[in-house]
Structures are given as structure tokens and as C-alpha cells.
A and B are shown apart, each in its own frame.
Chain A
């Protein structure tokens, strides 16, 4: 099992440029999450998908951020245009179930994509 795979690992861009991150979750995990982790902070949820549906995107800055999860598997997160304050690590995670009473919701995280906006 490859785990949650993210690319690119590192990206350096100038402000106002676009950037996209890709995530391949654990096979069979129906729930996918994008988190942003600022330096010295914990992860903060941007958007959550259950299968193909975005069920929680309240923290996603929709003026510049967009995400999609076609076919309920891989996902991409896009920023256009990027701002200096977008510099952070973007973490993708997946889990088997969420929003049920089936017990603990254990997330498996990818290694993250570190974005630096100059």
C-alpha cells in the first residue's frame, strides 16, 4: 500500500501565479480532506469530500481556491492567483468513513505539498 500520495512535494512561485496540488488517497477510502498547515500551527481543514461530493468547504477561500475530486478518487486543489499569505504546507488525508457512528475517524495523511509564494 503506497499510502496517501501527494505531488508536488515542493513548489515555489511568484505571487499572482497559479498553482495546483494533486492527491491520490488510500484505495477504498471514500472521504478525502485538504488541510492547510501554516508554520508552527496545526492543520486546518479547507475542504472535505465524501466520494465525489464536497460536504464541507466552509473554510475554503472560494475567491481564489478551488478543488475537485472527479470519480471520487484523486483530487486536485488549485490556487489562482496565489498570494504571499498562501505560503504553507497543504496536506491531503483520507479516511474510510466519516459522519457516521462507526467509531473513531482515523485519518491517513500524505507527506504534504510545501508552497512558497515570493
Chain B
């Protein structure tokens, strides 16, 4: 089965908060990442969190990690139309090579 799982779609209204969820299976994951992919572009790192942390905040982005449940979330406050993109969750463990989820398409409508 999938090592990293995400829901495929999320639709929000402009100005609302978006929460994108991810679950992973590898209990030895050391770092967890969120990447953003805009149409026709490669993936761009948004943020990452070390596995011994449970929260990280960076401007409009808040990452929550529940290591017990192997659950990672990305909250985007005051979501804007420019946030419309595909968001990928990824994890690294001993090999330090990221394993990516299928991505969540975030659609922001006025």
C-alpha cells in the first residue's frame, strides 16, 4: 500500500483556512515535508518538521505532527487564490530520500 496517503481534493473559499491532511506508515520517519506544485512547474518546498516536534509555524502556514497517529497536517490561514495548487506530503527516514504522497489539489474560490 501507499507509504504516504493524502486526500485528493480540497475546496475552500478565499479568506478561509485550509487544512490538508496526510498519514504515513513509517514510524522511523525523521523529517516530514510539505511541497507545493503549481501548474506546469516543479515542486517547491514550503516547510518541513523534524519528527521530535509537534508543531511548526511559519507566517500563514502551521504544521501539526501527531507522531503517535502518524498524522501530519498543513494549515494555511487566510487562503488566497494564489494558494491554489497541488500540495504534496513527503517523509524521509534512514535513506534521507523523500517518499511523496499523491498530492492534494487545493481549489480556492472567491
- A→B interface (CB under 8 Å): 4, 33, 40-45, 48, 56, 91, 93, 98-100, 103-112
Q: Report the Cα distance A105→B88, complex, angstroms.
A: 15
Q: Which residue of B lies closest to A38 (CB)?
A: B102
8 Å CB contact of A104 from B33, B41, B102, B103: B33
Contact (Cβ within 8 A) A98 B96: yes
Contact (Cβ within 8 A) A109 B102: no
- Sampled A-B contacts (5; CB under 8 Å): A40-B8, A42-B101, A104-B31, A107-B98, A111-B42
Contact (Cβ within 8 A) B48 A106: yes
Contact (Cβ within 8 A) B48 A43: no
Contact (Cβ within 8 A) A42 B103: yes
Instruction: Given A42-B102, A42-B103, check contact A110 B42 (CB 8 Å).
Output: yes
Contact (Cβ within 8 A) B45 A106: yes
Q: Report the Cα distance A100→B94, complex, angstroms.
A: 9
Instruction: Given A42-B88, A105-B92, A105-B96, check contact A91 B43 (CB 8 Å).
Output: yes
Residues of A within 8 A of B31 (CB): 103-105
8 Å CB contact of B97 from A48, A91, A104, A109: A48
Which 10 pairs show the lowest CB-CB distances between chains A and B? Answer: A109-B42, A42-B100, A105-B96, A109-B43, A104-B31, A98-B96, A104-B48, A42-B102, A111-B42, A43-B100
Residues of A within 8 A of B50 (CB): 104
Please tell me if B44 contacts chain A, counting CB pairs below 8 Å: yes
Q: Would you give the shortest CB distance from A13 to chain B, in whole angstroms?
A: 20
Q: Would you give the shortest CB distance from A59 to chain B, in whole angstroms?
A: 11
| 5 further A-B pairs in the complex, CB-CB below 8 A; given A42-B90, A91-B42 | A42-B103, A99-B96, A105-B96, A105-B98, A111-B41
